[in-house]
């Protein structure tokens, strides 16, 4: 049944809801915009946040591999379009990475609410959700991550590839299928280092900048600082 949900989250096998959205590539209609193609919609809590930035860099750098599978990517958060555009510009300049796919500016939270992306505690930032949608507009996989932990983009690639193989050959795939064929990498930006929570006051900004000057931590910007693990 179209739009069928349980507790606000669509079920695997239900049709992706028809909706018109504003993006960094203009206004588009989903899922018709990707009719005949697989696409992956993934949400992030907010622009100009460090974990989200590492995810977008990895999605962007793996985009050619997704394209080889005929898979398109589209991001989403509740930020405005101008925030997305400025953040994409920052990623291009600081991370030397071009973000080639659109990002939805769901500033009213319409689509986020339809897809169960908003947290139960009433927060306004979207969780790290992933929706894999097939060429018929059917939701084939749903994955949710907490704000504290970034996604493994290679696993998302493995997931959509496995679904394609399953459809084509009418088979099921075992645990860890295709893992040995993939290059499992740490973050292209900061490796396996740990992200320090962004500063929430001018005093904290100065504190982070001082620690960076003393080489106690590293930083790409005042909101994106990181350090080695103590373990």
Q: Which residues are known catalytic residues?
A: 52
Burial (0-12, 13-18, 19+ Cβ within 10 Å), 164: middle
Report the half-sphere exposure of 209 (CA within 13 A, side-chain side).
8
Beta strands in 67-127 (DSSP E): 71-77, 103-105
For the chain, the maximum distance between any two Cα atoms, rounded to a whole number of angstroms, is 59
* Paired residues of 143 in beta bridges: 130
**Measured distance CA(156)–CA(132) in Å, rounded:** 9
The reply to whether 128 sits in an annotated binding site is: yes
| Omega before 169 within 30 of 0, i.e. cis | no
DSSP, collapsed to helix, strand or coil, labels residue 15 as strand
What length does the chain have? 231
For the chain, the helix, strand and coil percentages under 3-state DSSP, each to the nearest 5? 30, 25, 45
- Number of helices followed by number of strands (H, E) in the chain: 5, 12
Residue 74 near residue 101 (C-beta atoms within 8 A)? yes
Annotated binding site for substrate: 128
């Amino acid at each position: 049944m179209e739009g069928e949900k349980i507790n606000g989250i669509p079920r695997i096998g239900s049709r992706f809801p028809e909706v018109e959205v504003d993006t960094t590539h203009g206004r588009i209609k989903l899922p018709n915009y990707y009719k005949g193609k697989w696409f992956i919609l993934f949400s992030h809590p907010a622009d100009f946040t460090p974990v989200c930035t590492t995810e977008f860099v990895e999605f962007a750098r793996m985009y050619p591999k997704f394209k080889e599978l005929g898979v398109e990517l589209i991001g989403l958060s509740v930020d405005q379009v101008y925030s997305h555009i400025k953040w994409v510009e920052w990623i291009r300049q600081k991370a030397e990475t071009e973000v080639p796919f659109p990002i939805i500016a769901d500033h009213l939270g319409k689509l986020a609410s339809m897809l169960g992306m908003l947290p139960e505690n009433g927060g306004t930032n979207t969780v790290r959700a992933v929706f894999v949608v097939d060429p018929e507009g059917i939701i084939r996989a749903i994955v949710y991550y907490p704000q504290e932990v970034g996604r493994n983009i290679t696993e998302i690639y493995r997931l959509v590839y496995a679904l394609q193989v399953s459809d084509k050959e009418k088979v099921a795939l075992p645990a860890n299928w295709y893992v040995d064929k993939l290059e499992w990498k740490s973050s292209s930006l900061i490796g396996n280092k740990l992200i320090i929570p962004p500063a929430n006051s001018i005093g904290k900004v100065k504190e982070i900048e001082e620690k960076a000057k003393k080489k106690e931590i590293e930083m790409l910007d005042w909101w994106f600082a990181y350090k080695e693990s103590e373990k």
